[in-house]
Structure 1
Amino acid sequence: MSAATVSQQENRAAGLRYKLRLAFRDPTTLIGILAALLFAYLIIVPIVSLLVDAGRVQFGDERRIGTEPGAWTFYYINRALFSPISNSLFWTPLFNTLSVAFGAILISLSIGGPLAWLISRTDMLGRRWFATALIVPFMLPTWTFALAWSTLFKNRSVGGQQGWLEAMGLTPPDWVAYGQFPITVILALNYIPFFILLFGNALRRFDSQLEDSARMLGANSSTVAFRIIGPMMLPSLMSAIILAFAKCIGEFGVPYVLGLPVNYDLLATGLYRSISSRQTGVGAVLAMAIMMIGIIALLVDARVVRESRKFVTVGQKGAMARRSSLGAWRLPATGFAIAIFLISVALPLLTLILSTVMRVPANFNISNFTLDYWIGTNLEFVALRNGILLSSQMWAAAWNTLWIVGTASLCSGLLGLLVGYVVVRTPIWPLSAFLRQVTFFPYMVPGIAFAAAYLSLFAVQRGPIPALYGTAAILMLALIADQMPYASRAGISAMMQLGKDPEEAAQVAGAGWFRRMLTVVIPIQKGALVTGVLLPFISGIKGLSLFVILAVPATDVLTTFSLRLIDYNYSQAANAVVLIIAAIAYFGTVLAQKLTKTNLADGLGS
């Protein structure tokens, strides 16, 4: 090696050491390292712990397996995948999950795709009103609509109580009341907004000049649709399909309400059964399967997004807003949108509201109406002596919900802003890349699997960290980690738009890093902070998957309290609690839009 080469390497090494010294003089680097360690522990370690549980003998299984607890074993993988009972443990729930997911996506695409086109590209009557009204299911808990379905269609042969149709003399068959058909329909109605938002947003940005140019060259309508519009819209359509599929894989509330009564298991409810029956090892295998399917789906979506960059149009902005005239089809198209609104929004919510003020289902005599389930006293229920609004249990669950979710959301928002600051400001790009990726990772893991990972890590004491299961701390930590994709993206987006000049001016004036954050960065980025707090708060309020695994009676929240009422067959009271949750989620979403000056109806963007 020549002396010149050695000298160049020494100069590069010296330059690198100088850059590192400069980087570590800035508190941003130290904060970034601490944040990286924190999120590695809150996100990566629980998932690794779950993977380990699938391959180690769990306490209580040592006699069955014949080895000591903690020893390595393939017993759980073999039991879940290859044993005589593997069909009921894994393969049948997997088949049911995929069947429901593909069925729901097919229905929601068939309805949501045309609605997105009608709202975005035509002169349909009430177009702007429908743009908001039809995405209401996106703002509400999915299992709200499952409870409405159960109220209408349940029968005494399975549910023990009659629904509205049976009370009116029409007994729905079991396959309509429970199982694959209702789960598929409910999820399809809930995912229609995905296509209206994602596909509709792409349609709004599509340049009409491309259609005009094709028609000038002699192309007919089918050629324009399949050769021009189709290829341009395919990436956004595929993205909506994949995201809906990823959410469907981890869905718990709907199959819990409509599947468990007839033992129709999906992977999520199978995981819940395994954990409830203390089959931790098998549950870890199921959680791994859910996690892998979710990760694969979102990696495919990332590939689709990269491919979509090949489809770029350049045109005048004003040409994009022109809409097609429906002519004679204008009234039928409006009627179609009204029908979907009635089926997916109005009818379920009206059913739930009426069910909470009726003693006997579907009896519309004025004497049958009552407010007992809301404000009554000395009710004849063993586990609920007063109406929901007078129930100490409900108010305790509401308080737990507000302070647990609120604290976690505030922490998520502040951490998201710090992550955004470090990602944008740190000169150490590996640290920036790690924080960007690790805080997005929980989005790739369905909530039920993420909850199982936290249960695996915190169920027992590990080193100086005590066992947290049964405390509010485990719920807050899980919520903080689970909501970081939203909070960190809000923080990164905001900091990318903030130049260094305000901070540098404050630094020249003698302000330290902490003071600059309090007096410059946070006041300027308060909108991003509000977004980073409100979005996790709304998601946490209506979330179920994390709480159903990690909450205990002492940390009951509104979602788990309503599920317990469902288990007791207290339908009216359960529906009342769900309506309270739905109201908080809906008005919270509206408030978030007002404060951040955004509108879901304008699309989710990328």
Structure 2
Amino acid sequence: MLRENKATRTRRWRYRLSIARHEPTLLIGLLLIAVLAYLVIAPLVAVLSDAVRVQFGDQPKTGQSPGELTGYYLWRVFRSPVSSIVFWQPLVNTMVVAIGVTVLALLLGGTAAFLLTRTNVVGRKWLSTALVVPYMLPSWTFALAWLALFKNDRSGGQVGILEAWGVRTPDWLAYGAFPITICLGLHYFPFVLLLFGNALRRLDSQLEDSARILGARQRTVLGRITLPLMLPSLSSSTLLVFGRILGTFGTPYILGLPVDFNLLATSLFSAVRNHEPGITAVIATVIVAIGVLVVVSDARLLREQRRFVTVGGKGAMDRLTDLGRWRWPAAAVAFGIFLLGVVIPVVTLALSTVTVTPGIFTRENFTLKYWISDNLAGAPGFPHGILRGTELFDAAWNSLRIVGLASLICGLVGLLVGYVVVRSDGSRIASFLRQISFLPYLVPGIAFAAAFLSLFAVQRGPIPALYGSITLLVIVLAVTHLPYASRSGISAMTQLGREPEEAAQIAGAGWFTRVRRIVLPIQKGALVTGVILPFISGIKELSIVIMLTTTGTQLLTTLSINLIDFAYDQMANAVVLVIALVSFLATYLTQRLTRTSLASGLGG
């Protein structure tokens, strides 16, 4: 009997292995879950652990041995005499800026969305693309342009254009909450434009027409019908913009540092720079908690959207409001937003890179030395133009290969996640894999970087210390952009039935052959999207990489920030223009390759 049971178990395992060899979806799902658990959950667990355990070197402060449980870091951040500087004031500043940015983004994005989707404003098709361009630029492009215009003598180096013209700019205008709010609002309003605009376009205009037929005025229709139906979209836009501010680093760093105006992101960076891992862990945990709360709130609002569903289908109509004599003034408003969001920042930065003294537009003041000079006097840290030497090209090569490799991994893993989730639909593995692949979206970028720093700064078991390596940058960029690639993969695989694979399997094709010859060719569009979109985002990424790069792994974004730290404003601006050019070209090529548009459905 014992021998029979043993033989039965052996046959059963051989059968399972045979099945797994021909249909390894379950094994791939388990492998993906194991890898993502270590790369997504483990960093968060590590940062939580660092917040309540004594870190090496802090024994004199805590009176405890390294690794012991402690409440010192919680006290230091929340209750100590310096807690106001370390946490509470940055928290208040973050809330003020986040609210201000959200209001401005809603105002600009909502206005633009209404004009492009519900009116016959002049130039709808062109504006629907042009007004998305600010989101393609690095977020701190606007901060550098702001400094080029309004910088005073407080932070050293050359003053801005207005000061050069004899116009005194006060600190509140040059630095701090006001400029940070304006700059981030100009960067994030296209996010609202896309979300709110698409929702407006799906709204059946017959509902509004019915109200007008019954005698309702335009203001009544807008307030009693249109806006109430748009509340879920408005709420979602509000929360998502608010959440993105939590992890934004570049703009608060550039415009807040001269006046010691810290947000949670810059306070976190200061803790890392001061080698305070315990305090870093506590602040990162708070940022993660707020980010999770924001996204969970957004998810609940999405579920509530069912109460706002309108009956549409073939009867739905998308009628444009005739603006009459207001067509051109409305177009002027939309074009003015484009000027503020694209033309003025880019032209200002470009002019700053070719003038010795800002704001002086004489022939003698124009120069190309910041681009091509072999010897720049007074710039010992960077004694040549950015096109000379190797710094720019090394940083560009690092950016292209690191972001490119991360994007390729992200696209392939995203498609695999989609395959496993769809083919194992309803299983616990599918459900857990769907959730864990989306988890990085809940964590603001700079907090996720702090979590990775905590996990990989030292060797843990067989995993070596990866800090300062290209490998770590590739991993963190791939993981943080996985939610977009995985959702693209899931959406694409949902539309692919099982019949082509089943036919190939009957013909004797193995799993790898089926994937290589059937799935990948059919899903090449989703794969391209899952690769290119993370590339576009990663090439201008700063918050995620600022704490993880070293001298040997300099990227274009960190090179720009380092030049700002040395007060080499013209060369920093030149590097940002290079980043903007690469980002724009990547976006353009993506739209040509995939035959899609970021502004698809908004107008024209």
TM class by shorter chain equals over 0.9
CA contact (8 A) 1:359 1:370 kept: yes
Matches within 5 A, 1:532-551: 532-551=530-549
- AA paired with 2:199? A
Is residue 2:20 matched to residue 1:47? no
- AA paired with 2:429? L
Greater mean alpha carbon deviation, residues 433-442 or residues 101-110: 101-110
Q: Distance in 2 between matches of 1:178 and 1:495?
A: 48
User: Cα deviation per residue 1:382-419 (whole Å; 9 max; x = unaligned)?
Assistant: 12232212230111111111111111111111111111
Query: Which residue of 226, 234, 240 maps to 1:229?
Result: 226
Question: What displacement does 1:315 show?
Answer: 3.0
Matches within 5 A, 1:480-491: 480-491=478-489
Query: Which residue of 167, 183, 195 maps to 1:198?
Result: 195
Query: Which residue of 423, 427, 430 maps to 1:425?
Result: 423
Partner of 1:3: none
Partner of 1:213: 210
Greater mean alpha carbon deviation, residues 322-331 or residues 532-541: 322-331
Query: Which residue of 123, 126, 136 maps to 2:123?
Result: 126
Q: Distance in 2 between matches of 1:35 and 1:241?
A: 33
SS in 2 for 1:601: coil
SS in 2 for 1:550: coil
Query: Which residue of 357, 360, 376 maps to 1:360?
Result: 357
Gaps of 5+ in 1: 1-16
Q: Distance in 1 between matches of 2:231 and 2:425?
A: 38
CA contact (8 A) 2:201 2:601 kept: no
SS in 1 for 2:122: coil
Q: Distance in 1 between matches of 2:536 and 2:19?
A: 37
Partner of 2:564: 566
- AA paired with 1:501? E
Partner of 2:470: 472
User: Cα deviation per residue 1:408-456 (whole Å; 9 max; x = unaligned)?
Assistant: 1111111111111000112661100111111111111011000000000
User: Cα deviation per residue 1:447-484 (whole Å; 9 max; x = unaligned)?
Assistant: 10000000000000000011111111111111111110
Matches within 5 A, 1:22-421: 24=20, 26-315=23-312, 317=314, 319-380=316-377, 381-421=379-419
Q: Distance in 2 between matches of 1:366 and 1:309?
A: 63
Q: Distance in 2 between matches of 1:501 and 1:429?
A: 20
Q: Distance in 1 between matches of 2:249 and 2:19?
A: 45
CA contact (8 A) 2:121 2:323 kept: yes
Q: Distance in 1 between matches of 2:166 and 2:28?
A: 66
Q: Distance in 1 between matches of 2:152 and 2:27?
A: 61
CA contact (8 A) 1:201 1:603 kept: yes
CA contact (8 A) 1:96 1:180 kept: yes
Q: Distance in 2 between matches of 1:553 and 1:23?
A: 49
Identical aligned pairs, as a percentage? 56
Pairwise CA RMSD: 1.7
Cα distance, 1:427–1:572 mapped onto 2, change above 3 Å = closer
Q: Distance in 2 between matches of 1:537 and 1:338?
A: 29
CA contact (8 A) 1:159 1:261 kept: no
Q: Distance in 2 between matches of 1:296 and 1:386?
A: 47
SS in 2 for 1:547: coil
Partner of 2:6: none
Gaps of 5+ in 2: 1-12
TM-score relative to the length of structure 2: 0.95
User: Cα deviation per residue 1:154-182 (whole Å; 9 max; x = unaligned)?
Assistant: 11123342111111111210110000110
Query: Which residue of 431, 435, 438 maps to 2:436?
Result: 438
CA contact (8 A) 2:106 2:189 kept: yes
User: Cα deviation per residue 1:83-102 (whole Å; 9 max; x = unaligned)?
Assistant: 11111110000000000000
Q: Distance in 2 between matches of 1:44 and 1:438?
A: 8
CA contact (8 A) 2:158 2:357 kept: no
Question: What displacement does 1:377 show?
Answer: 1.2
CA contact (8 A) 2:414 2:485 kept: yes
Q: Distance in 2 between matches of 1:302 and 1:603?
A: 24
Partner of 2:10: none
- AA paired with 2:576? V
SS in 1 for 2:208: helix
Q: Distance in 1 between matches of 2:593 and 2:371?
A: 32
Q: Distance in 1 between matches of 2:212 and 2:56?
A: 71
Cα distance, 1:462–1:201 mapped onto 2, change above 3 Å = same
Partner of 1:522: 520
Greater mean alpha carbon deviation, residues 412-421 or residues 207-216: 207-216
Q: Distance in 1 between matches of 2:275 and 2:435?
A: 33
Q: Distance in 2 between matches of 1:51 and 1:593?
A: 41
Partner of 1:500: 498
TM-score relative to the length of structure 1: 0.94
Q: Distance in 1 between matches of 2:372 and 2:551?
A: 23
- AA paired with 2:554? D
Query: Which residue of 459, 464, 473 maps to 1:461?
Result: 459
Cα distance, 1:374–1:428 mapped onto 2, change above 3 Å = same
Question: What displacement does 1:340 show?
Answer: 1.3
Partner of 2:7: none
CA contact (8 A) 1:123 1:325 kept: yes
User: Cα deviation per residue 1:209-268 (whole Å; 9 max; x = unaligned)?
Assistant: 111222233433333222211211111111111110010111100001100111100000
Q: Distance in 1 between matches of 2:295 and 2:242?
A: 9
Partner of 2:450: 452
CA contact (8 A) 1:384 1:391 kept: no
Q: Distance in 1 between matches of 2:567 and 2:458?
A: 34
Question: What displacement does 1:298 show?
Answer: 0.7
Aligned residue pairs, count: 588
- AA paired with 2:88? W
Q: Distance in 2 between matches of 1:584 and 1:415?
A: 25
CA contact (8 A) 2:118 2:321 kept: yes
Cα distance, 1:20–1:202 mapped onto 2, change above 3 Å = farther
Question: What displacement does 1:338 show?
Answer: 1.8
Question: What displacement does 1:20 show?
Answer: 8.6
Question: What displacement does 1:319 show?
Answer: 4.7
- AA paired with 1:29? L
Cα distance, 1:23–1:431 mapped onto 2, change above 3 Å = farther
- AA paired with 2:50? D
- AA paired with 1:166? E
Q: Distance in 2 between matches of 1:484 and 1:20?
A: 31
